[in-house]
Amino acid sequence: MTTTTPGRPDPAGSAPSSPGATVAAWWREFLGLPRPLRVASYVALGLVLVLLAGLVTGVVLVRRPLPQTTGTIDVPGLSADVTVVRDDHGIPQLYGDNLDDLMRAQGYVHAQERFFEMDVRRHATAGRLAEMFGEPALESDEYVRTMGWRRVAERELALLEPETREALEAYSDGVNAYLDTHSPSRIAVEYTVLNAGGLDYEPEHWTPVDSLSWLKAMAWDLRGNMTDEIDRVLALADHSVQQVASLYPPYPYDENAPIVGRGTVVDGVFEQDATTGGTRNPQRPAFTAGARSALRSLRDGLDRMPSFLGRGEGIGSNSWVVDGKHSATGEPLLANDPHLSTSLPGVWMQMGLHCTTLSPSCPLDVAGFTFSGVPGVIIGHNQDIAWGFTNLGPDVSDLYLEKVEGDRWRYDGKLLPLRTRTETIKVRGGEDVTLTVRSTRHGPILSDVSDQLADVGEEARVEGAPALPDGTSYAVALEWTALHPAPTADAILELDKATDWRSFRAAAADFAVPAQNLVYADREGHIGYQAPGRVPIRKSGNDGLLPVAGWRPENDWTGDYVPFDGLPQVLNPAEGFIVTANQAVIGPDYPYHLTDDWDRGYRAQRIRDLIDSEQELSVDEMAALQLDDHNPIAPTLVPFLLDVKLRRGYHSAGQQLLRTWDFSQPADSPAAAYFNVVWRNVLADTFHDDFDKDLWPDGNERWIAVMETLLRDPSNAWWDDRTTDTTVETRDDILTRALLEARDELTRRESVSPDDWTWGHLHQLDLQSQSLGQSDIAPVRWLVNRGPWEVGGSSSAVDATSWDAADGYDVTSAPSMRMVVSLGDFDESRWINLTGVSGHPFSAHYTDQTDLWADGETLPWLFTRSAVEDAAKATLTLR
């Protein structure tokens, strides 16, 4: 891959100015001062002195929060010293004598590097963003308060094992030890910026509930098919059921293998060598234009909620594990690269937690990827096992259209009282907002958040139903597994301490939400897979594909979940490897309904094929496989494109690139640039005339599957352009148009010469802070944002640098980290982060891994203490 050196744009958009001028412009905008006029030379000299003072002040302000990494710091509550060893990328490895000390030290180090990120997250998950950022964050807060994320987290705390609660308390104490000795300006430069704007903010102490609430945000971003439920209804507005069904093709089991290739449930327990089956018979309601309008508003509102992991196209992951027979080391190898939204700082912080002597009272010897704000390691390995995550993606949420009459709602022919509570939201620079939250048995009524949704009863009516009586309206309620308290936090430390398949599965059993695919390997040579998570069992009237009528009991959940022992799992499969990449978990005869909205399996099958062809993989080859950029739709689409007859010369020059293209997509590829522009135009010319913009194709794996079928039907009605009254377009008309448009677009964007085109010039990665990075003030964006980088890969490729064809070519999500674990020698393992370990914009470790990531490189992942200390660049003692 090629990269562009990351830069920070000048506020005025011209040539880069001096740091002093930038600082002065920053403060000028904050203070509302006019732009300077022409001044006499002696005034100019004075201005130079002021700018120099501003430069010195600016350097002090941005460097003040950088953490102390050497020497000694007193941390109240530690029973013994904890040593923090950092390498040349600032990655910390912590060594302590007991679990309490390690958790306390982890909280302190997370706060050193990432507290502002932690603080923004806890405000988001508590519905308190408007306290920091004002009225623009109010709608998000209203949705979060309505769902009650923090209220659920408070109830979960009581469900946790005592050891987990103790770890959360110790972690919080470590965070607070840092806060107690640092003013806001020494914690993060972002507080300096916000307080300069009039916030007058002092961070509150951290609590265990703050950590648990982050798991709600994680579950929300990975919640499954809620948006698909709404989109199906909206698509039915002026298309037939058959047409809409063609846009959601079934999983191609005969082409792309599921994760678990055999086995089913016998007497409630999944047996990997057994066979049997099961069926469902759903009843689906239809919705009128009014209900569709309500659901569209709900979709728009939910899209404006904060997202820390990302959602939609590209949000998935790759993981796979091979046994010793498929490994050059003779021992298992495990790889993982979660695909999440891009942001600064990145979602992961690498870290190691090591007991100086392993014992029942201090069982941790683990390293991997952590969430700042949460104790323990989320993904990684310990001294005995390794594990990785991908999103299982089951259908764990349903939208219910409810009939509401005053303070009651209708269910099974009866009127039942609504449950209500009141929430008060503080708004920076504005009046407090009081929100009344109403709930049915299905969950909170989300439609109360939006004025438009609150009036939905005036126009929404289920087809075939009688007119609503006076005083009755419709509302939209949410049922979601994450709103039911569960001890998911127990699973994190249990995974960190697991020593074998049995203890690994016991930990997975507590991982309730979000449901994940877990791959496993151990030093005894075993490999395995386990699907954990709460997956609801629905009654026969509800298949989870569409919103349902809440007044009909047959649409309810049964109250039971798919039993953990009945979820798919496999140990030491005969083929010697396991691949998970968000594809179907198991075949269609599995008796429980998990979802119908799987990823279509292009990435998974590509990985399987490459492992099959290689047979024996080294650590380097595992890492190289993560960079495979084969385009999954190209082998199908390119032959049709080459069959189109274009006039020789200007317009056919781009088409000629495809004749020798190998379907790979490195950043410097002219053919990849041309093909992806053609692909975007094919989707636009085929479907934009059929849908409103919020339903335009994003080009993800579902649309690839749709187009694979459509290309074989040249006269299908989808090809016709509704905006042309006298012509009925066919496939070849659309393909011709797309080819011509792509040629002209690339000439405008890049060059008249196809040899000068590059995919990376179009497909760029920008890293933006999710808070201040969206500021209207250019110097503030300059302070916290970085980029761009020119990268290869694409949506649904193994190297999943996804882009949204409805909007453009920029990267919207990407591998948030990459890791390869060698069970034969942990010190031979490799890892890389999308950004860096630091959340401080002027730390050397803010984006110091991004160039390496973009070039497809990885860092040594040292694990043994001797190796870690040999590579040490800074050592700190917490005393």
d(CA 589, CA 464): 34
Q: Is 741 marked as a binding-site residue? A: no
Continuous segment of H or E residues that includes residue 266: strand 264-266
For Cα atoms 410, 535, 271, give the angle at the middle one, nearest 5 degrees. 140
Cα-based distances in Å from 754 to 736, 750, 865: 18, 9, 53
CB 379 within 8 A of CB 387: yes
The full DSSP string for 731-783 is: HHHHHHHHHHHHHHHHHHHT-SSGGG--HHHHSEEEE-BSSGGG-SSHHHHHH
Tell me 160's DSSP state.
S
Placement of tokens 């640098």 in the chain: 801
Measuring CA to CA, which residue among 391, 396, 393, 400 is closest to residue 562? Answer: 396
Q: Is 395 marked as a binding-site residue? A: yes
The question of whether 79 is a catalytic residue gets the answer no
Tokens of 469: 């009586």
Tokens of 492: 């994190």
d(CA 782, CA 773): 8
Q: At what angle do helices 670-687 and 634-643 cross, to 10 degrees?
A: 80
Q: At what angle do helices 99-125 and 138-147 cross, to 10 degrees?
A: 120
Q: Is 398 marked as a binding-site residue? A: yes
User: Mind spelling out the 3-state secondary structure of 808-832?
Assistant: CCCEEEEECEEEEEECCCHHHCEEE
Torsion angle, alpha carbons of 150, 155, 161, 165, to 10: 50
d(CA 455, CA 322): 56
Residue 281: Cβ within 10 Å count: 7
d(CA 815, CA 810): 15
d(CA 719, CA 713): 9
d(CA 526, CA 531): 17
Measuring CA to CA, which residue among 268, 214, 221 is closest to residue 488? Answer: 214
SS3 502: helix
The full DSSP string for 12-45 is: TSSS---HHHHHHHHHHHHHTPPPPPP--HHHHH
CB 487 within 8 A of CB 512: yes
Let me know if 876 is exposed, middle or buried by CB neighbors in 10 A (0-12, 13-18, 19+).
buried
Measuring CA to CA, which residue among 394, 454, 783 is closest to residue 595? Answer: 394
d(CA 398, CA 478): 6
The full DSSP string for 187-252 is: H-HHHHHHHHTT----PPPP-HHHHHHHHHHHHHHT--SHHHHHHHHHHTTSS-HHHHHHTSPPP-
d(CA 215, CA 703): 31
Given 293, 317, 343, 771, which residue is catalytic? 317
d(CA 215, CA 271): 31
d(CA 556, CA 547): 12
Cα-based distances in Å from 715 to 240, 248, 710, 726, 730: 17, 20, 9, 16, 5
* Residues that are catalytic: 317
Which residues line the annotated binding site for Ca(2+)?
A: 229, 395, 398
